[in-house]
Chain A
Amino acid sequence: MKTLLLTLIISFWAYPCFAGTDEEKGLQIMQEVDRRDAGFGNSRADVKMILKSSSSGEETLRLLRMDTLEVAGDGNKGLSIFDSPRDVKGTAFLSFTHALEPDEQWLYLPALKRVKRISSSNKSGPFVGSEFAFEDLTSFEVPKYKYKYLRDEKVNDQDCFVIELYPQYEESGYTRQISWIDKERYIPLKVEYYDRKDALLKTLEFKGYRQYLNQYWRADEMLMTNHQTGKSTTLLSENFKFRTGLTVRDFDQNTLQRAR
């Protein structure tokens, strides 16, 4: 009896109990998602993007290295360096993402040997011609959305919370997203994106999650399928490294030119 009570207490503790309206419940779940991913500091990964055209079967590759710096209380800073295609090798993309303010972005063009700042109204636009929009790739911050818990549902035999997210930042390409959050690990397994006319536009599936530093889950594979054009992009991440000693100075437009 004692053991049972203990188990119950422990499980209540480990398994936060969400109460209130669906909106509050949704918010609480996503706060938990945010809380569990907090504190990773910085990370590096090698990323391979495979862009597929629906019916013609054409396929093309983009290789890049992505560095991320966690910024407490704001969006993360990111630096992506292109290795392929050949013509854009060495191009570096620096971004300071923010929750509700427009992001700040710079691009270093090696052929021009110049840093160019680029517009911030592109959040909804495709990232290097892929099916991922900028807003799909920037870090998750709680104030970016309003939430609503919808239901519980299984994805690949995993119990999930199904949460609806309504973007609060300007110039989003979506009316809403529906996210399937793993009840056990508090990570998204699937996201559906609804366009400006509220029609299903894309589905993102996360595959091959791995845990780093005993806490942080990262997916080896993210597959984004556009239902309206039939095109898809697979984003494969390799060689995840955490707390590699990156600092704010590595995410600076002055050092951008030196990034290789």
Chain B
Amino acid sequence: MLASFVSRRRWWIISLTLFIIFSSSAGIKNLNFNNDYRAYFSQENPQLQAFEAIQKTYNKSDNILFILKPAGGNVFDPMVLQAIYQLTTKAWQLPFSSRVDSLTNFQHTVADGDELLVADLVHDPASLTQEQIRSIKQVALNEPMLVDRVISKSGHVSGVNVTVQLPEKNLKETVEVVNQARQLAWDIEGAYPEIKVYLSGVVMMSNAFVESALNDSKTLIPVMYAIVLAVALLSLRSFSAVFGVVLLILFSITAALGVFSWFGGVLTGTSAVSPTIILTIAVADSIHLLANMLHYMRIGYRKRKAIRRSLRANFQPILLTNLTTMVGFITMNFSDAPPLRDLGNISALGVAFACMLTIFFLPALMSVLPVKVKVKLKSKDEQNLSNLNRLSLFVIRHRKVLLTANALIAIFVTSFASMNELNDDFVKYFDETVDFRRATDFLNENMGGIDSIEFSIHAGEEGGINEPDFLQKLERFSLWLKQQPEVKNVNIITDIFKRLNKNMHGDDPAWYKLPDQRDLAAQYLLTYEMSLPYGLDLNNQINVDKSATRVIVTLGKLNSNQILAVESRFNEWLRQNMPEAKTEAASTSLMFAHIGKRNSENMILGSSFELGVISFILIVAFRSLRLGLISLIPNLVPMGVAFGIWGLIDGQISLGISVVASITFGIVVDDTVHFISKYRRARVELRKPSPVAVYYASSSAGEALWITTMILVSGFIVLSFSHFTVNSGMGLLSAITISIGLFMDMLFLPPLLMLLDKK
């Protein structure tokens, strides 16, 4: 009925489709990229909330860190100091910069009689004597605020940290800052060829997310198209059919992105992957239909009749497989990371469009386009079929061995899944070809790392941070922190207080200790605050009413589990030693360290939901509880096996990996649906015994399963070449899972059916 409707109303369908597709796609022109790394966290995310609370109280800590590596291995050299000085001065000109901290503009305090001199550590680098450089080195390498923050312990590498306040009004802000920062780095390298400049920091990370996505779309998507065209041409051998496939892919992608944009969506490095996924799935849909149509034409049917027969045979499986695939993608809404939700929703939309287009538009289009095939009685298709038949006979003959062997292998490999551990190390989101990764690895190896934890510690009353008791406890915290092996630098006000106390007593080292009176401490602080120049104030360390202070702990190279362990150890110390003080801990590192766990927990819930929904769909579709439940087994096994393999080859479960189960479950199920729907037809309609039905199913569905699986696997493998490891890991593991899915459908599902579906 549907088939004849489509062929009668073909022009009407084509016009309506074009109208729907073009009006949906029009949204694309508003589609934008979000290059704030915070896009990876939902508004409800507690670590994001804590982080934003700290940023509201103190100044924001989004930064660009220039790391200078002089070839001579010595920063304390007139030429290098000159470069740092120049970079510092120019960095104030970077867009949205609000603060620049470097070796040269460090506010060094000295006593001169009754005068407190507060001035740049290096003010006139061109005229420095050796004596002066020695004293600068002496000060810098003994200053707790500087070591491993802007100067390495041995003085061979130095950093210039630029704090930026992005107004967050325009998505191009990050790109603007990054471009100018890069220009500045090149200028410095040009003027001082012996100095290499690296760029790291949170802003560079945000930028890397988007840049790697754009690079992917430049390199991976064309490859993807080439593969799809090649596969389509090889398997269909008809230009009109391939034209139909290409149109269907384009339409599904643009319409899905268009609708996403109509709803106000903004792309991220992860959701930008969706076109690749839609492409892969759309092509699989259309090939099922077209291969079947061409098959009928080759054995002598007229075109119209071939279209009708193909549509009739494929309508139910196409609808069903797309439905389960969509359920899989929609399940990604359980994720805590909005880009993954977006990826799921865009892909689900794309699948919906692809499904509609395959059922209505593609047959209509084929009926108006000229399609020429050579009619042959024994086509190459049948040659393939006989290969499949041989496989199927082998499976029927050795079903018991296969059943046991497969079950044992599956259990064995799955057991390695326990080797996986959650780890979201945001530096490792990028492979070594990405500048940000190289710069940050260099930073981690040569100075304090990029990971940090910020604490906001409340003294409980206005001016309370000046209370000697509070300061003493803070100092104990500081000393304890500095003993921890993971800690590189502690930025804490007690170091400032001690230095001021010394300065106020004629620089007598004996007074390098905390002031013991509250009013004295407050007055020291006032004196110091009143001496600081523009942009270098204490607002980033002390809140407005001086009731709370921020402690920034810079950590060495750690993975996310280690960061979580460190966090709880620090918090435990505070609970034991400063139980009366309200404290908050937050940082970018903590946000990423927690998201893996949060996300995985959500995705486990999501996958259970998905399992329930898909089982229900299958049971209803097959009108058999038994078949529905049996069909789940070959779909669950590939998940376990794939994660087992992952445990052996990688073992790190990051954001991208955590959603693979949801994506692939909806796809792996498709093969089973095709197989079982043919099997069921043989069992119910033709009343054949189980082994005959298995033979029938693999000979009629086998070829399409192989082709579509190949396309899907190549699609996801292409994705695995991304330099953005969230995407590449997702691609690789999905490809593994889908391949195993086919293997199981060929070698494990048939024996299982013959064992469990006997009567």
Interface residues of A (CB under 8 A from B): 51-56, 58-60, 82, 85-89, 91, 93, 105, 107, 109-112, 114-119, 121-129, 133, 171, 173, 196-197, 199, 228-229, 231
Chain A nearest CB from B611 CB (Å) reads 43
Chain B residues positioned under 8 Å from A124 (CB to CB): 533-535
Which residues of chain A have C-beta atoms less than 8 A from B539's C-beta? 126, 129, 229
Given A116-B527, A129-B538, A229-B165, A197 contacting B532 (CB threshold 8 A): no
25 contacts between A and B (CB under 8 A): A52-B544, A53-B543, A56-B57, A58-B545, A60-B546, A85-B546, A86-B463, A93-B530, A111-B517, A111-B523, A115-B114, A116-B114, A118-B118, A119-B119, A121-B118, A122-B530, A122-B533, A124-B535, A125-B534, A127-B530, A128-B530, A129-B529, A129-B538, A171-B533, A199-B96
Assess whether A58 is in contact with B115, with CB atoms less than 8 Å apart.
no
What distance in Å separates the Cβ of B238 from its nearest Cβ neighbour in chain A? 61
Select from chain A the residue with minimum beta-carbon distance to B97. Answer: A197
Q: Is B53 interfacial (CB 8 A cutoff)?
A: yes
Does B544 lie within 8 Å of A59, measured CB to CB?
yes
Q: Which B residues are in CB contact (< 8 Å) with A53?
A: 56-57, 543-544
On chain B, the residues within 8 Å of A125 by CB distance are 529-534, 536-537
In the bound complex, CA of A51 to CA of B56 (Å): 14
CA of A107 to CA of B165 in the docked complex: distance in angstroms? 33
Please, which residues of chain B bring their CB within 8 A of the CB of A119?
115-119, 531
A124 to chain B, nearest CB (A): 3
A126-B544 contact in complex given A56-B53, A109-B523, C-beta closer than 8 Å: no
Question: Are B115 and A111 interface neighbours, CB within 8 A?
Answer: no
Are A121 and B533 touching (Cβ within 8 A)? yes
Shortest CB distance A94–B (Å)? 12
Add 20 more A-B contacts to A118-B530, A121-B533, A129-B529 (CB < 8 A): A56-B57, A58-B543, A59-B544, A60-B546, A85-B463, A87-B463, A105-B530, A109-B520, A109-B527, A115-B114, A116-B114, A122-B530, A122-B533, A129-B539, A129-B544, A173-B533, A173-B534, A199-B96, A228-B165, A229-B59
> Which one, A60, A107, A128, contacts B545 given CB within 8 A?
A60
- Contact pick for B520, options A82, A112, A129, CB 8 Å: A112
**0/1 interface trace, chain B 452-481, chain A, CB 8 Å (1 if under):** 000000000011001000000000000000
Interface size class on chain B is 35 or more
Digitize B347-377: 1 where CB-to-A-CB distance is under 8 Å, 0 elsewhere. Answer: 0000000000000000000000000000000
Residue among A59, A82, A85 with the highest chain B CB neighbour number at 10 A? A85
Q: Are A87's CB and B544's CB within 8 A?
A: no
- What are the nearest 7 A-B pairs in CB distance? A87-B522, A124-B534, A173-B534, A60-B545, A111-B520, A117-B115, A111-B519
Cα distance, A87 to B471, chains bound together (Å): 15
Per the bound structure, the CA–CA distance linking A111 and B118 in Å amounts to: 21
Q: Which residues of A contact B504 (CB under 8 A)?
A: 112, 114, 116
| Complex CA distance for A250 and B97, rounded to whole angstroms | 42
Among the 9-residue stretches B15-23, B87-95, B133-141, B706-714, the one with 4 or more Cβ atoms under 8 Å from chain A is B87-95
Task: Tell which of B116, B466, B519, B537 touches A118, judged by Cβ atoms closer than 8 Å.
Answer: B116
Whole-angstrom distance between the alpha carbons of A116 and B504 in the complex? 9
Q: Nearest B residue to A134 by beta-carbon distance?
A: B530
B98 located at the interface, meaning its Cβ lies under 8 Å from any Cβ of chain A in the complex: yes
Interface flag for B526 (CB, 8 Å) = yes
Distance to closest chain B CB from A241 (angstroms): 26
B127 nearest CB across to chain A (Å): 18
Chain A residues, Cβ within 8 Å of B681: none
- The residue in A52, A82, A116 that gathers the most chain B C-beta atoms within 10 A of its C-beta is A116
Contact A107 B527 (CB under 8 A): yes
User: Among the listed A55, A86, A110, A114, which residue makes an inter-chain contact with B56, where contact means beta carbons less than 8 Å apart?
Assistant: A55
| Chain A interface main SS type | loop
- In the complex, chain B residues whose CB is within 8 Å of the CB of A118: 115-116, 118, 527, 530-531
Contact of A85 with B114 in the complex, beta carbons under 8 Å? no
Q: Are B116 and A116 in contact (CB under 8 A)?
A: yes
**Contact indicator B56/A54 (Cβ below 8 Å):** yes
Q: Which residue from A111, A117, A197, A229 sits with its C-beta under 8 Å from B114?
A: A117
CB distance from B513 to the nearest CB of A (A): 15
Cβ of B309 under 8 Å from chain A: no
Q: Shortest beta-carbon distance, B657 to chain A, in Å?
A: 36
How far apart are the CA atoms of A144 and B700 in the complex, in Å? 91
Residues of A within 8 A of B59 (CB): 229
Contacts of A86 in B (CB 8 A): 463, 519
On whether the beta carbons of A110 and B523 are closer than 8 Å, the reply is yes
A54 contact set on B, CB distance < 8 A: 56
Bound CA span A105–B520, Å? 20
Residues of B within 8 A of A60 (CB): 462, 544-546
**A128, B118: Cβ atoms closer than 8 Å:** no
Q: Provide the residues of chain A in CB contact with B688, threshold 8 Å.
A: none
Q: In the bound complex, do residue B535 and residue A173 qualify as a contact, i.e. CB atoms below 8 Å apart? A: yes
User: Within the assembled complex, what's the spacing in Å between the Cα atoms of A51 and B504?
Assistant: 28
Q: Which residues of A contact B534 (CB under 8 A)?
A: 124-126, 133, 173, 196
Partner pick for B529 among A115, A121, A128, A231, CB 8 A cutoff: A128
Question: A107-B530, A117-B114 known; A112 and B523 CB under 8 Å?
Answer: yes
Residues of A near B532 (CB, < 8 A) are: 122, 125-126
Within 8 A of A (CB), among B524-576: 524, 526-527, 529-539, 543-546
Task: Report A153 CB to chain B, min CB distance, Å.
Answer: 25
In the complex formed, the residue of A with least CB distance to B52 is A55
Assuming A110-B519, A128-B526, A129-B544, is B533 touching A87 (CB within 8 A)? no
Which chain A residues border B153 with CB–CB below 8 Å? none
- Flag if A87 contacts B114 (CB, 8 Å): no
**Which of B98, B534, B545 lies at the interface centre, i.e. has the most chain A CB atoms within 10 A of its CB?**
B534
**B156 in the interface (beta carbon within 8 A):** no
**Within the assembled complex, what's the spacing in Å between the Cα atoms of A25 and B217?**
57
B438 interfacial by beta-carbon distance below 8 Å: no
Find the residue from A82, A88, A123, A127 having the highest chain B CB count within 10 A.
A88
Residue interface bits B56-87, CB-to-A below 8 A is 1, else 0: 11010000000000000000000000000000
Within 8 A of A (CB), among B324-347: none
Contact, CB under 8 Å: A129 / B533: no
- The answer to whether B304 has its CB under 8 Å from any CB of chain A is no
Q: How far is the CB of A121 from chain B (nearest CB, A)?
A: 6
Give Cα distance in the complex from A251 to B422, angstroms: 67
Q: Does B305 contact A (CB under 8 A)?
A: no
Best-buried of B463, B521, B526, B536 by chain A (most CB within 10 Å): B526
The answer to whether A197 and B93 touch (CB under 8 A), given A51-B544, A56-B56, A117-B115, is yes
Q: Which residue of A lies closest to B543 (CB)?
A: A58
B312 interface hit (Cβ, 8 Å) = no
- A120: nearest residue on chain B (CB-CB)? B531
B165 / chain A contacts, CB cutoff of 8 Å: 228-229
Smallest distance from the beta carbon of A201 to chain B beta carbons, Å?
Answer: 9
- B307 CB to nearest chain A CB (Å): 62
Q: Within the assembled complex, what's the spacing in Å between the Cα atoms of A59 and B527?
A: 22
**Closest B residue to A135 using CB positions:** B534
- Chain A residues, CB < 8 A from B95: 197, 199
Considering the complex, which residues of chain B in the window 480-494 have a beta carbon less than 8 Å from any beta carbon of chain A?
none
Mask for B106-131, Cβ within 8 A of A = 1, else 0? 00000000111111000000000000
CB distance from B187 to the nearest CB of A (A): 16
Whether a CB of chain A sits under 8 angstroms from the CB of B38 is: no
